[in-house]
Amino acid sequence: MVPKKRSGTNSRAFACAYMLVVVFSFAAVKRTSAQEPTAARIEASEKEPQNWLTYYGNYGAWSYSRLDQITRANVKQLVPVWAFPTGFPPSSIPRWGLEAAPLVMDGVLYLVGPQNHVFALDAATGHFRWSYLYKLPEGNFAGERGARGLAMGQGKIFMGTQDNHVVALDLKTGKEVWKVEVENVFDCGCGITSSPLFVKDKVIVGVTGGESAHRGYLSAFDAATGKLAWRFYTIPARGEPGSETWPGDSWKFGGGSTWLTGSYDPELNLLFWGVGNPSSDFYGEDRAGLNLYTDSLVALNPDTGKLQWFFQETPHDTWDFDSAPEPVLIDVDQNGQKHRIIVHSSKNGFTYVYDRKTGQLISSFPYLEYINWTKGLDENGKPTGTIIPGAEKGYRFCPGVAGGRSFNHSAYSPRTGWWYTVAFEMCSDLQPEKKEVQEGDFWMGGRTIDMPNPKVQPHISAFDPLTGKKQWSFATKFVNVASLLGTAGDLIFSGDVEGFAFALDAKTGEKLWSFNTGARIASAPISYSVNGRQYVAIATGGGSFNENVVTKIWPEAEGHVGQSASTLFVFALPEK
């Protein structure tokens, strides 16, 4: 049978239909590819203010949202629009609290709750999409606090676990793609509590263990397969550069954890990461020397893990003054020239400003009001006139072992040009103790008693990072263990241990809004938008170590600190 010829009209209709199919197919391909969280998308995160694609919101660790629907003028109208309780998975070890900052991409919110329980939710409504529950081993091990965040890339969600594994999940289904053990948790006394960082084709993961007899490191895994790509040891082995700063075999148990998330400069192709304290924390006689690269900021090649430069902020630390906080990357214009700088704070109470290409120290300034463990920093940024704990009986040093700040990260606003940080203003009495240990043993090396600084109240402050000049200070009743979020509405969001989510005026420090969630807050707020509506999300329920000291050293806090819980609150302006 010979097929009939199509008429001209039918042929044109068929051609049009075919073209429409091609066009829609192409659009579908484009939409599908657009859903992929690529490194290029994260590099250009300022072009997608509706999303929050990486921890801190961008590679520069700004913790800043370019959304400006919520402003100083209307923030008082902010109301909760949905909440999501994560629940508590069954476990032999209680893991309460919710410290995590969510990720948001294209209308979907990803959150990690207690016991490495991951959820995908509709970002506008909180409706459940999928979940994944990681199975933790039985027994006591390090990392009993919850995770602080996730990473995404190559169609996957990446998570570090409390028993020192890295897991990759399918972004759309939550199905496990791969899982690798970094090191046996019972051998090393270490785990992963902060967000990994997805860079190019790698997942870069820090590790805890600064309070263990353990040699710290930073690891990079192939994002597609989970295969180890490189490992940078923060404590050099015998014969390597820097090993002369460790006598005998002390390097084997040297500490130097990398427990907070770093930052990345795509133009320079440099990875920046803060390194924690040496072990043991307080007893330093067995490790006489500078103890490199503990308490340092390190710059690495993200392709190879090779060290490019470093700066040690607290040589031979015996105060537990980690340099683990986030390195904030800022570009400034001076006399028509672009300068790439890093603003990096240490638990020791000082902030350091570096040239991020060379590591040259540009300036330093205190972010605390009162510091007495040193007489100050010299022109090279090194502490002078330090008092060694235990050398003088009854000596009280400030900041104490909790540091000037801890895991709770800062914020930077390109609108004001200011850097915003919390300041604990606490002190400690310390008695060092010698102890024989095996690898992986808990090893603080002393006993401490913490107390409030009698001279200064805890606060949140704004600084000009180029001059170190304080712009304003907002006193907090107790230490503020939550992180900060800046927005283009000239607001600074945070939360406190009494359970209040709140917003400050970024220009003056005046409190403009608060809402009592009923549960202590020790997390990092984020902001995103769906269909043009801006949201602010903040996890409640606590979970940080430092919140536990509040009722011990501020008796008046008894009965006022919020409950332990695990709920994500999401706020927005009322719909018109």
Domains and CATH numbers, the chain: 39-572 (2.140.10.10)
Element (H, E) at 132: strand 128-133
pLDDT of 391: 57
At residue 13, the 3 state secondary structure works out as: helix
183-205 burial by CB neighbour count: b if 16+ within 10 A, else e? Answer: bebeebbbbbbbbbbbbbebbbb
pLDDT of 22: 36
Catalytic residue set: 320
At residue 217, the 3 state secondary structure works out as: strand
Predicted structure pTM score:
0.92
At residue 383, the 3 state secondary structure works out as: strand
Element (H, E) at 43: helix 39-43
41-50 burial by CB neighbour count: b if 16+ within 10 A, else e? Answer: bbbebeebbb
Q: How many CA atoms lie within 13 A of 179 on its CB side?
A: 9
Token representation of residue 319: 């105060």
Q: Is it true that the peptide bond before 280 is cis, omega within 30 degrees of 0?
A: yes
The 10 Å Cβ neighbour count of residue 35 is 13
Alpha-carbon distance of 205 to 504, in angstroms, equals: 33
Token representation of residue 439: 């690898």
8 A C-beta contact, residue 518 and residue 538: no
Which residue from 50, 167, 150, 153 is spatially nearest to 102, judged by alpha carbons?
150
At residue 398, the 3 state secondary structure works out as: coil
434-470 burial by CB neighbour count: b if 16+ within 10 A, else e? Answer: eeebeebbebbbbebebbbbeebebbbbbbebbebeb
Tell me the backbone φ, ψ of residue 396, rounded to 5 degrees: -110, 125
pLDDT of 212: 83
Which residue from 399, 401, 419, 398 is spatially nearest to 409, judged by alpha carbons?
419
8 A C-beta contact, residue 352 and residue 335: no
Alpha-carbon distance of 221 to 153, in angstroms, equals: 12
pLDDT of 439: 79
**Cβ neighbourhood burial of 107 (10 Å; 0-12, 13-18, 19+):** middle
Q: What is the mean pLDDT of each run of 10 residues along the chain (576 residues)?
A: 40 41 37 67 96 98 98 98 89 72 98 94 98 85 72 97 95 97 89 95 93 91 98 96 95 93 98 95 90 98 98 95 96 87 97 97 97 95 85 76 93 98 94 81 83 94 96 96 98 97 98 96 97 97 86 87 92 93
How far, CA to CA in Å, does 487 sit from each of 47, 152, 499, 506, 509?
A: 15, 23, 21, 9, 14
pLDDT of 3: 39
8 A C-beta contact, residue 474 and residue 509: yes
